[in-house]
Chains A and B, each alone.
Chain A
């Protein structure tokens, strides 16, 4: 593995991606909207609700973790718990557009053959393309999460709610599970990208990786379960395993010959 070649691939991908305004805007504005939306809701809840609200407004299994918190705080924690999942959705959905285009896009523009004719290995190529998609998504997520946390107190969210958000549970989820999910999403997108002939098809198919996050979100909203530390750590281990498997599959499924000779 030649780190220099991996860095060149990343540099090339970024140069191309950020020249494409629509992709650049997607990478900037989607995370910002996902950050401002929960802040706006929390602000409105505080403004409209005064100190009212009680724990009967939240599912019973959730109310249990509120203990003796005021009703409004409990409601805010409940809502925040759903919105915080957006910070897991971000690293999953943002890089998919880049990754899905990465191989099939080069096939379409016929730039893949000259690239494969260089001494770059399949592992270097896939690692470079994966990191080029994963790193900006993780950075955008972390920056947005930091903005979110810093804005909580100024918009009037109570210390108890802030303590719930800036907790080991959510920090683990966002700093560990998020990046692992980003890797899973990107590698899946790259596998799909190397096997389809239409960039749009690649992007749409790759979006399937956000389904588990949506599943967790809807399960919480429906009161089926509440995200807890055990679930986060088990998820991290499972996703890590899936990542290793997907990376292995990606290098096995990336067949230079098939891509060059059978793609029309």
Chain B
């Protein structure tokens, strides 16, 4: 659904200063119906990437195909089949929610403008407030209205740039739940976010990006790639010799003792845990719990951004 090949964007600056490279050689592929997370720090070039993919700005180099149309050559076709929620979605504050949506539905060439406007106002819980001026809406309501605006023409691809940024937890949850619904309906979603929990919950794959693409994979695979799988054995008390026993096992890649816990890095915990438990019990250990140690996506993200992925 989205394909980029060495996509780059550089912005000119004032005379005498070098141009700013915002996106450098981005190559990625997003499948139809996929929810794709695009993570990166402020100023990483996420919004620039979204703007290029939505045909709002032209790439400096490389190419991008969205829904079969090429960015820079078939921009109007792309704009007609994508929806975009910008980071700061502006509205016509003096106009009603209904009027705001009607204008955009008409510009997108929606056949049944009234029907679509009603559908999305109802879905997003704004139907009762449809004739109110948008200027009186709360931030959460504005965000919901902006999402409705991005969806009026039933786009094949939806770009969401920080959809829950600045929202209170309740409004953020409403937005996330709605994205879950869209995901269930098979809409391709390109989600730029700082919220790692949100990315993990919603996205099938995640790209970590800082001007260049650092990595792209599923959240689970990223964790495993960086930190492997670690199992923690909680003991009643640590006894001498248990750590050495663990280190001596051939399938244990790394072992450490912290207080009354033993940590083991394993490739296949399902296969090796029973063997380790048996060995430890035979050596006199009293095992209270065994569990897998999960690294958060935040650990992965920080590791990737700060050290380029070297754990």
Chain A positions within 8 Å of B, measured between CB atoms, are: 4-5, 8-9, 11-12, 15-16, 19-20, 106, 109-121, 256-257, 260-262
Contacts and interface: CB of A to CB of B under 8 A. Distances in A.
Given A113-B90, A121-B76, 15 more contacts: A8-B103, A15-B95, A15-B103, A110-B86, A110-B90, A113-B84, A114-B146, A114-B149, A117-B79, A117-B86, A120-B107, A256-B56, A261-B11, A261-B48, A261-B57
A114 B58 contact: no
Nearest to A262: B11
A115 B56 CA distance: 10
A119 B79 contact: yes
Given A15-B99, A260-B51, A261-B11, A20 B56 contact: no
A117 B108 CA distance: 10
A105 to B, nearest CB: 10
B115 to A, nearest CB: 17
A14 to B, nearest CB: 11
Nearest first, the 8 A-B pairs at minimum CB distance are A110-B90, A111-B90, A19-B94, A118-B107, A257-B57, A119-B80, A8-B106, A109-B90
Contacts of A261: 11, 48, 51, 57
Nearest to A110: B90
B38 to A, nearest CB: 17
Nearest to A107: B90
A248 B82 CA distance: 30
Given A11-B103, A19-B95, A261-B11, A117 B90 contact: no
Nearest to A112: B90
B107 A5 contact: yes
A4 B58 CA distance: 26
B104 interface: yes
A109 B92 contact: yes
Interface string B193-210: 000000000000000000
A106 B86 CA distance: 14
B109 interface: yes
Contacts of A118: 79, 104, 107-108
Taking each of B11, B58, B84, B106, which has the highest tally of chain A beta carbons within 10 Å of its own beta carbon? B106
Given A20-B94, A106-B90, A119-B76, A113 B107 contact: no
A119 B109 CA distance: 9
A16 B95 contact: yes
Nearest to A8: B106
Interface in B14-39: none
A260 B52 CA distance: 12
Contacts of A11: 103
Nearest to A118: B107
Interface in B59-93: 76, 79-80, 82, 84, 86, 88-93
15 contacts: A4-B109, A5-B107, A9-B107, A15-B92, A15-B94, A109-B91, A110-B89, A111-B91, A111-B92, A117-B54, A118-B79, A119-B79, A257-B56, A260-B51, A261-B48
Taking each of B48, B58, B103, which has the highest tally of chain A beta carbons within 10 Å of its own beta carbon? B103
B171 to A, nearest CB: 19
A19 B56 CA distance: 29
Contact of B107 (A19, A106, A119, A257): A119
Given A16-B95, A109-B92, A114-B149, A119 B56 contact: no
